Amino acid sequence: MSSSARCVPVVAALSACVLALAACDGGAGSGGGSGGASGGASGVGDPYFPEAGNGGYDVSHYGLTLSYDPDGGRLTGSAVVTARATADLSAFRLDFVGMEVAGVTVEGSAAEFRRDGQELTVRPSDSLAEGETFEVAVRYSGSPRTVTDPDGSKEGWLRTGDGALALGEPVGSMAWFPGNHHPSDKASYDVAVTVPEGLTAVSNGELRSRKAAGGGRTTFFWRTAEPMASYLATVAVGEFTVTGSTTRDGLPVYVAVDPTQVVASRAVLARLPEVMEWAQDNFGPYPFSSAGAIVDRPGDAGYALETQNRPVYPGAPDLPTLVHETAHQWFGDSVTPKSWRDMWLNEGFATYAEWLWAEDEGGATAEQTFTGLYEHGVEEYADLWDFPPAKPTSAAHVSDKPVYLRGAMVVHRIRQTVGDDAFYDIVQGWAAAHRHGNADTEAFTAYVEEAAPDADFDGIWSDWLYGEGKPELP
């Protein structure tokens, strides 16, 4: 799959390329959303992460061939990105941070490239015409970076006691492969990871094969056929106890657990099939072709993440977290936000799933949880009313309590307004309408209004979704 053999000469030509690009591509596409003839824009105009993603093309597939050495922390890789030009392009950009780039080809021919911050600008030897499908291959190596988010959390490439863990929300995936790293551009993936024998490499989708790679190494071939946003891509390298099974519906389940976590996580993981069935009853058909979990050690990451098919848990998950990450497979992974402003569509629904689970299990009803939060939530969550869920204050706040809790309260206000039957129709209809796609807050409010034309949601949108301060209850 790698076309690396054809791009050897690029290294010698490099310094000339860099100068040529700087001269003729200076300033192309800085900021704006449209891809110009000279180069695709450096971002897609995300209000919170303006440099994330790129203009001028749409990726359909990533073919990643990676080799990792846990002792040295070194990753060697090639990324073959298949994309369609959405504008005439004499140059375009990929997001990529750290690592050394050894060469870039476009359609098999060496291409000039330049790096500037997170932007890898590629100038193909032949310009690309709007509508053209092309393949860009990037060869790279180095020690991938751990990225610190605006909120202080760590993502990107995390080294662990026995390997590594790649997490990408919101912008960490650009630390381990070049791409169009914005949730609005989803693609299918083939990920091959070679690791020392005895270690396992886990990723999204299904394990197609595993083969001896020679030199005491093993290659794991993973395939994700359904569209995936790059922030949901993962690779976990380490010692894992793997359990493969199938649900009653015949869905393959692949669960990889760090040996030190097997005992502590057994009881909760045994309930995954039950949680999946419950989620399908509530949210509609499961959107992907396999499921599972990756359980690493408690310190390996600071949070759980809804990586597609197979959420990552740092240490044995508790049941609410298992429910939360499972719900994300519908809300976030299948129906993906159009921009990071729409984060509450992920976290509000995943949090509301926890409330529903508790209610269905005979615990607090969602109404009780809502009322408790409304009356006393701020005592526990001081920032609860700091900003409306659909308008986080800044990138540092996209995972704050108003996005999760007040987001879930918006969902509950809809349920209060329409009643249970219409509510579950709305939830399932929304998941079905945008299955494997992207959606924003405006699409959501429009969907709800259309689904319940006799109800009045104006106050919910103006006060709960977009309004500052603690809303009044009717």
> Where along the sequence are the contacts to ligand TRP (CB under 6 A)?
153, 169-170, 303-306, 324-325, 347, 398-399
User: For ligand TRP, which is the closer residue by CB, 155 or 190?
Assistant: 155
The CB-side HSE value for 372 (13 A sphere, CA atoms) comes to 10
As measured in angstroms, the least distance from the Cβ of 396 to ligand TRP is 10
As measured in angstroms, the least distance from the Cβ of 312 to Zn ion is 12
User: For ligand TRP, which is the closer residue by CB, 303 or 374?
Assistant: 303
Contact assessment for residue 235 and residue 191, using Cβ atoms and an 8 Å cutoff: yes
Contact partner at residue 304 from Zn ion, ligand TRP, none, CB < 5 to 8 Å by partner kind: ligand TRP
Contact partner at residue 303 from Zn ion, ligand TRP, none, CB < 5 to 8 Å by partner kind: ligand TRP
What is the CA 354 to chain-centroid distance, rounded? 21
User: For ligand TRP, which is the closer residue by CB, 199 or 439?
Assistant: 439
User: For Zn ion, which is the closer residue by CB, 75 or 167?
Assistant: 167
As measured in angstroms, the least distance from the Cβ of 343 to ligand TRP is 6
Is residue 465 near Zn ion by the rule CB under 5 A? Answer: no
Tell me if the bond preceding 402 is cis, omega within 30° of 0.
Answer: no
User: For Zn ion, which is the closer residue by CB, 123 or 328?
Assistant: 328
Q: Round to whole Å and give the CA distance between 321 and 328.
A: 11
Q: Round to whole Å and give the CA distance between 396 and 81.
A: 30
Considering only 69-77, 174-182, 342-350, 428-436, which stretch makes contact with Zn ion by CB under 5 A? 342-350
As measured in angstroms, the least distance from the Cβ of 223 to ligand TRP is 24
As measured in angstroms, the least distance from the Cβ of 35 to ligand TRP is 27
Cross-sheet strand order for the sheet of 146-148 = 146-148, 154-160, 163-167, 235-238, 200-203
**Which residue among 269, 350, 405, 408 contacts Zn ion (CB under 5 A)?**
350
CA distances 90 to 12, 28, 35, 81, Å, are 22, 11, 10, 17
Binding residues among 247-276 for Zn ion as defined by CB under 5 A: none
As measured in angstroms, the least distance from the Cβ of 368 to ligand TRP is 22
As measured in angstroms, the least distance from the Cβ of 409 to ligand TRP is 16
As measured in angstroms, the least distance from the Cβ of 465 to ligand TRP is 18
The CB-side HSE value for 377 (13 A sphere, CA atoms) comes to 19
Contact partner at residue 110 from Zn ion, ligand TRP, none, CB < 5 to 8 Å by partner kind: none
Q: Round to whole Å and give the CA distance between 139 and 120.
A: 12
User: Residue 295 class from Cβ within 10 Å (0-12 exposed, 13-18 middle, 19+ buried)?
Assistant: buried
Contact partner at residue 169 from ligand TRP, Zn ion, none, CB < 5 to 8 Å by partner kind: ligand TRP
User: For ligand TRP, which is the closer residue by CB, 408 or 443?
Assistant: 408
Binding residues among 284-323 for Zn ion as defined by CB under 5 A: none
User: For ligand TRP, which is the closer residue by CB, 82 or 153?
Assistant: 153
User: For Zn ion, which is the closer residue by CB, 98 or 292?
Assistant: 292
Question: CA-based diameter of the chain, in Å?
Answer: 70
User: Whose CA is closest to 189, among 136, 157, 231, 233?
Assistant: 233
What is the CA 118 to chain-centroid distance, rounded? 18
Contact partner at residue 305 from Zn ion, ligand TRP, none, CB < 5 to 8 Å by partner kind: ligand TRP
**DSSP notation for 440-460:** -HHHHHHHHHHHSTTS--HHI
Q: What angle in degrees, to the nearest 10, is found between the helix axes of 343-360 and 319-328?
A: 130
Provide the sign of the torsion angle of the four alpha carbons 36, 37, 43, 44, taken in this order: positive
Q: Round to whole Å and give the CA distance between 173 and 26.
A: 26
User: Whose CA is closest to 338, among 326, 349, 347, 346?
Assistant: 346
As measured in angstroms, the least distance from the Cβ of 312 to ligand TRP is 9
Contact partner at residue 185 from Zn ion, ligand TRP, none, CB < 5 to 8 Å by partner kind: none
User: For ligand TRP, which is the closer residue by CB, 192 or 353?
Assistant: 353
Query: 361 - beta bridge partners?
Result: none
Considering only 90-98, 145-153, 339-347, 463-471, which stretch makes contact with Zn ion by CB under 5 A? 339-347
Binding site for Zn ion (CB under 5 A): 347, 350
